[in-house]
Amino acid sequence: MYIKQRNHSTPALSRRDFLKTGSAIGGGLVIGFFIPGATRFANAEPAPNAPFAPNAFLHITPDNKVTVQINRLEFGQGVHTSLTMIIADELDADWSQMSAQLAPAGDAYKDPVFGIQMTGGSGTINHSFTQYREIGARARAMLIAAAADRWNVPHEQCHAAKGVVLGPHGHKATYGELADAAMAQPLPQKIALKNPKDFRFIGKPMPRLDSRDKSNGKQPFGIDFALPGMKVAVIAHPPVFGGKVAQYDAAKALDIKGVAGVFQIPTDRGGSGVAVVADGFWPAKQGRDALAIDWDTANVEKVTSADQLAQYKALARQTGTVARDADVSALATAPKKIVAEYSFPYLAHTPMETLNCVIDLQQDHCTLWVGSQFQTFDRAAVAATAGLKPEQVTLNTLMAGGGFGRRAVPTSDYIVEAVHVAKAYRASGKTGAVKVIWSREDDIRGGYYRPSHVHRAEIGLDDQGQILAWNHVIVGQSITQGTPFASVMIKNGVDNTMIEGMGEPYEVPLKLSAHTVTANVPVLWWRSVGSTHTAFVMETLIDEAATLAGVDPVVYRQKLMGPKSQRHQAALKMAVEKSGYGTRKLPKGHAFGVAVHESFKSVVAYVVEASLEKGVPKLHKVTAGIHCNLAVNPLTIEAQVQGAILMGLGTTLPGAAITLKDGVVEQHNFSDYTVARMPDMPRVEVHIIPSADPPTGMGEPGLPPLAPAFANAIAKLTGKRLRSLPFNLENA
């Protein structure tokens, strides 16, 4: 195998970026790492001149254990294991000696591309592959140097294998035995990264490090963290975003055994709420239920979904801010036309672990334990809210029970709220930590949704079904407007997160414009972001055009793809061949559906098999062709694809929508907000295109093509084109 991007002997980062960090607990070799300067979101860093604090990435202790610090949040995507694999490979460690920890907030742990500490954009492996390889390689070189010095032999006569250094005369020493001496070695100027053909872990299906503890109840999550004397808080949020408490009566709440205090606190968007602090969740929740609160929502906009949809549809008939131009004059004379209007609802993320945050606020310091996806912003927000300096805030990253975007909030909404609770609690003369827990209702009604959208497409085709002109308008809220991401993500007035995924890989005369609407509903990235809707629109429209052309939808796609789309072609070919598309006879009433989409630099093609069961769309099987360049852990990639398919399928199911009436969210819990369950799960087969190119991420790209592939199969069965998520056959 061959890694194209980088010469093996020329590491991406110079020697000065690495540091040996002093005084390791338990002795041994500790290697730290610092990202000088910042990159993509550098301007988003609220404290650019924060003092440099070296942080350990790798710690080899004399007892022969290797601990890797994970510069990300682990919330299911498997980086806890895959980043450890990457270091272990270059370190030539034995897998049994490896373990991993989630790193706290710290400058060293910033994403080397984004310049902030965060987990998102399917970026972990893509951005940290070389970073973690180099850390492992440096440590290995120092261990070899220490061994060579000990045995008084030339370095080049020593080599490392499976956690030991071997010398020329039967010498042998474990990494643990060498760790202290290695720490005394200078950091190597130059290191050689492995030839990928020598990888022992990278590219192999490695089982997760955390599966045992996640199967026996021992894995601690943020919500499980407790301190002696800690209280639990539950918050009554305003019924409309930004609403305020007019007055409240806490008498009944305070009568409940275990309730320690009731406090009015500021909440998100300039609103206010009431926090009940108690001995545990149950008395806190009972206390909240017993509050009598009069809300003032007079001065906040109250969105009603039906009205918003009508507003969006009207806007979609007008050209918006142009993001991509093309000559669409042929629309007037084209012999064939597709005019299609699509709608997508708000979506909640509903990770299984509801939002929570443990906070211990002291006079001059604040410590948090939280499943943070945005440590840099969250720490800064805590400092600002608590009136502390960032260095007075310690933020410990705990494993999270899913996230799908909800723990990556530029406003740090739920963490800021926790600081307000802690401030109020402390101001009342009490001391000790508080854990704020959101109920499921808080989660579903608490905002930060995938934005609702309307798309309108007018496509003109010739008699052969070839696309002559395509005028496309998208309406929706911007995710990044007003956040530190705006300057990078909003180009010429259009938020890239609204339009990403439109156009490519097809060579079509597409004119794309967007209307950015403001509405009093907080919006946020949701697994695969813009591609959650753009892929649906693109891949169902291309399929429809193929049908109009009378051409097989796979062949039509292949012909329409540009020369730069070799990865798309390969992924589609793989899915087609492995599925038996065009060759395998399906049971009566079953049909194939196809879609291919690139997001976050990876390409995923699906061929699905679907039917109608008593008139209801049913997905039976998905065959996936994946192109993510070098597949670091194929077992994890398979899991991510299965998961993304399930989540994509969830968006098609009746009830998978957040709607509002007079500003109030109409859904409450899993009873009225649908998520996919076991009987919904199709059989999934994942096939990965072999590649040695630098790896791209797979946390999100499996989601976008699922719903359109499913819709295309249903269209084949019914002749009806589904134009909305969730599916609505009656309106199709």
Partner 1 sequence: MLTLNINGQDKQFDIDPSTPILWALRDNLNLTGTKFGCGAALCGACTVHINGLPVRSCVTPISAAVGQHITTIEAMGDDRIGKALQAAWVRHDVPQCGYCQSGQIMSAAALLKTNKKPNDADIDSAMSGNICRCGTYQRIREAIKDAAATLA
Binding site for partner 1 (CB under 8 A): 75-78, 207-208, 210-221, 223-224, 226, 232, 256-258, 279-283, 285-286, 350-354, 399-404, 437, 439-441, 635, 639-640, 642-647, 669-671, 675-681, 683-684
Task: Select 20 or 406, whichever has its Cβ closest to partner 1.
Answer: 406
Task: Select 494 or 639, whichever has its Cβ closest to partner 1.
Answer: 639
Please list, in sequence order, all residues whose beta carbon lies within 8 angstroms of the beta carbon of residue 55, skipping any fewer than 6 positions away: 21, 32, 33, 69, 103, 106, 107, 108, 109
Give min distance, CB of 214 to partner 1, in A.
3
Give min distance, CB of 1 to partner 1, in A.
24
Rg of the chain on CA atoms, in Å: 27
Q: For residues 508 and 511, what is the distance between their CA atoms, to the nearest angstrom?
A: 9
φ, ψ at 559 (rounded to 5°): -75, -30
E strands, 325-433, are 336-344, 356-361, 366-370, 393-397
Q: Tokens 């309106």 — which residue?
A: 731
Q: Is 606 helix (H, G, I), strand (E, B) or coil?
A: strand
Strand pairing report for 244-249 and 259-266: unpaired
Give min distance, CB of 594 to partner 1, in A.
21
Task: Select 380 or 400, whichever has its Cβ closest to partner 1.
Answer: 400
Token digits for 715?
């269209």
Token digits for 445?
């009604």
Give min distance, CB of 425 to partner 1, in A.
17
Q: Which amino acid is at 725?
A: L
Give the ranges where 500-551 is alpha helix by DSSP (H). Answer: 531-549
Give min distance, CB of 282 to partner 1, in A.
4
Q: For residues 199 and 162, what is the distance between their CA atoms, to the nearest angstrom?
A: 12
Give min distance, CB of 639 to partner 1, in A.
6
Strand pairing report for 56-60 and 244-249: unpaired
Cis peptide before 266 (omega within 30 of 0): no
Please list, in sequence order, all residues whose beta carbon lies within 8 angstroms of the beta carbon of residue 576, skipping any fewer than 6 positions away: 554, 582, 594, 605, 607, 625
Residue 429 CB neighbour total at 10 angstroms: 7
Token digits for 666?
């109409």
Task: Select 401 or 484, whichever has its Cβ closest to partner 1.
Answer: 401
Task: Select 69 or 77, whichever has its Cβ closest to partner 1.
Answer: 77
Give min distance, CB of 257 to partner 1, in A.
6
Q: For residues 435 and 356, what is the distance between their CA atoms, to the nearest angstrom?
A: 7
Please list, in sequence order, all residues whose beta carbon lies within 8 angstroms of the beta carbon of residue 533, skipping any fewer than 6 positions away: 342, 344, 453, 455, 725
Task: Select 257 or 588, whichever has its Cβ closest to partner 1.
Answer: 257
